Copies of this chain bind each other. A is one copy, B any other.
Amino acid sequence: MPRSGIPGIVIRRLPLYLRCLTLLAERGEDVVSSGELGAYVGVSPALVRKDLSYFGEFGKQGLGYKVAFLRDSLMGILQTDRDWPVILVGAGPLGHALMHYEPFQRWRYQIVAVFDRDPAKISQPIDDLTVQPMEDMALVIEKRRIMVAILAVPAPHAQNVAEELVACGIRAILNYAPAHLVLPSHVRAAYIAPVISLQGMTYYL
């Protein structure tokens, strides 16, 4: 159930453009061409233009794109111009590291609650939060209108926990567990899989 007819692969490139534009804006750049933007992101100029053209006409012929304007436009499209409260499930070593991962804050993804199934972890403090039992999840998600969850539980639990999250109304899951999730089509998943990435490279060595 895509929000629109725009290919997912185009959507997934938008954040890369946005990251570059944010950098250029910090550097005080005023305009950027599709060629420069593409070089930074690793795609062709034509693809940059095609991608952006799905959402409107942002550029000026002969000039290029106004950095600040395009950045703000992409932030609007991607909805990165607002806070996203997220919950973290899994308070193991990985969960702890994610609590302190600054880029989430920087991009307005705020971890507002941490859950774990292990009784030994429950009630333990992490920063200014306290690990809560999974039973509290439904209430927190509903009360705080959470749509995004970060999953950092052991692989064997990932599918079960994901289903609980879906039942609670979660719409997007960033999954650090080494397991594929089978989810209803209205729920999005993205995977962080360092080992898979390494294995995809060692083939060539």
Q: Which of A's residues lie within 8 Å of B, judged by CB? A: 2-3, 11-12, 14-16, 18-20, 39-42, 77-80, 84, 93-94, 96-97, 100-101, 103-104, 106-107, 109, 147-148, 171-172, 174, 178, 180, 182, 188, 190-205
Contacts and interface: CB of A to CB of B under 8 A. Distances in A.
Contact of A194 (B100, B103, B180, B205): B103
A32 to B, nearest CB: 15
A71 B203 CA distance: 15
A153 to B, nearest CB: 14
Number of this chain's copies in the assembly equals: 2
A202 B172 contact: yes
Contacts of A42: 180, 182
Name the residue among A40, A41, A94, A197 with the largest chain B CB count within 10 angstroms: A197
B15 A195 contact: yes
A193 B97 CA distance: 15
Given A41-B180, A103-B194, A200 B11 contact: yes
A45 to B, nearest CB: 15
A79 B198 contact: no
